[in-house]
Amino acid sequence: MSSTAARATDQGPDQDRVWTVSEHLDDILGHIHPLEPIELQLLDAQGCVLVDDITVPVALPPFDNSSMDGYAVRIADVAAATRDHPAVLTVIGDIAAGSGELPAVGPGEAARIMTGAPVPPGGQAVVPVEWTDGGLDNGPVTTMPTRGEGPDGGSGRVRVYRPAKEGQHVRTRGSDAGAGELALRAGTVLGPPQIGLLAAIGRATVKVRPRPRVVVLSTGSELVQPGEEAGPGRIHDSNSYQLTAAARDAGAIAYRVGAVADDAATLRAAVEDQLLRADIVVTSGGVSVGAYDVVKEAMHEVRFRKLAMQPGKPQGFGRVGRDATPLLALPGNPVSSYVSFELFVRPVIRTMLGGGEIHRPLVRAVCPEGVESSPEGRRQFLRGWYEPSAGAEPGTVTPVGGASSHLIKAMAQANALIVVPEEVTAVAPGTDVDVLLLT
């Protein structure tokens, strides 16, 4: 063993011990903190966690406004209106959404008003245009005559066929939220409706914990980029794509770095180059016991260990560079790297985000087929297809493909991981199992 390799392994009498999944996760999360808040433009804050309570600065809506295209009227004027005996009112003008100057509606008068337009002084209710003749003196209409035809539709008067109640079709000032009311609580994850609310109350920016920036590097001289021909003995680099997509899915900003060849100096330089834009570095491959295990060779700050899990036995974790950026070194087998991401990298991203769920949901489900064998002493994560049940009963889960960690197609056909505990070596058909949901 070279001196570099000696430093790269957990030290002491314990160095060959096998770590449990939770010990490794706890060790990692013990070094991870939510990122420092920053002020972001609204759309850049999507999916981020709000740092402060946000209050409504001015009432929402800010003024009484119409919820219908119609006529602003006085109640008394239309109280006795019927189809046979309509109220006939003088139309004094148009009020469009955005109007600043409002005509006052006096007795016997109506103002044509559009949805969202401010209700004018004197206007006590809005009668929808469908309750009127639209000013055309030809019975009820279904739409308003357009602007070009004049506010009164030609006659200067409108016939109203139904009475209206005070405030009918008027959305009052503050009916959504009053000034000073709590709009969003600190800790809220900003989804589309929350971003809409912030915009509605006039906020252009908001203080949130930013998305962690994850740099994904794959290692291996056998790797060829998709789109290029894979020559003899070579394969396409799928891990860097899968892991970058997984990082985005977890809420991170992810940068995929093309595969780095199995050369320690090249890998070290590539990692150091990336540190400037990384809150987390994820590598795939090069962590086992082979002669070309480059991550182990290059990253002396990383502690490499064996975990009691399958797939995903070899893992590394350390902090690199001036900012002690966390680096998670995942095994290269495609299923191993993805399962490791879900178990270890996703919680790191979610912890840095500072809110929301850290882990994928874990449910119980019946496994009608059972599991023929599972290695003793290792927690197995089998790929599965989970179907929820219609009622309160547990759903079902069916294994997809075998246990081997090169089965990329089966992984892509699964939506869950069946968790078989360390002490269980077989699952009888029809037994309940733990299932980690991946969607």
420: three-class secondary structure by DSSP: strand
Residue numbers 222-241 binding ligand LQZAQKY5 by CB under 6 A:
222-223, 235, 237-240
Q: Which does 285 bind (CB under 5 to 8 A by kind): ligand MOO, ligand LQZAQKY5, none?
A: ligand LQZAQKY5
* Binding string, residues 219-258; x marks residues near ligand MOO by CB under 6 A: ----------------------------------------
67 is written with which tokens? 């919820």
Helix (H) or strand (E) holding 4: helix 3-7
* Binding string, residues 290-329; x marks residues near ligand MOO by CB under 6 A: --------------------xxxx----------------
Contact between 336 and ligand MOO (CB under 6 A)? yes
244, 257 Cβ separation under 8 angstroms:
no
Q: What span, in angstroms and rounded, lies between the C-alpha atoms of 304 and 295?
A: 10
Handedness of CA 175, 180, 185, 188 (dihedral sign): positive
Which window, 168-176, 180-188, 237-245, 331-339, contacts ligand MOO (CB under 6 A)? 331-339
Least Cβ distance, residue 228 to ligand MOO (angstroms): 26
Q: What span, in angstroms and rounded, lies between the C-alpha atoms of 357 and 115?
A: 40
Contact between 69 and ligand LQZAQKY5 (CB under 6 A)? no
Q: Could you give phi then psi for residue 332, rounded to 5 degrees?
A: -80, -25
- Residue linked to tokens 């809110």: 355
Q: What span, in angstroms and rounded, lies between the C-alpha atoms of 168 and 51?
A: 39
Which window, 66-74, 125-133, 287-295, 372-380, contacts ligand LQZAQKY5 (CB under 6 A)? 287-295
69, 144 Cβ separation under 8 angstroms:
yes
Residue numbers 393-412 binding ligand MOO by CB under 6 A:
405
Alpha-helix residue ranges (DSSP H) falling in 134-208: 192-200
Q: Which is nearer to ligand MOO, 35 or 309 (CB)?
A: 309
Least Cβ distance, residue 330 to ligand LQZAQKY5 (angstroms): 7
Burial-class residue 234 by CB neighbours within 10 Å (0-12, 13-18, 19+).
middle
Applying CB under 6 A, the site for ligand MOO has a residue count of 8
Chain residues in the site for ligand LQZAQKY5 (CB under 6 A)? 218, 220, 222-223, 235, 237-240, 259, 284-290, 293, 311, 313-314, 331-334, 336, 405
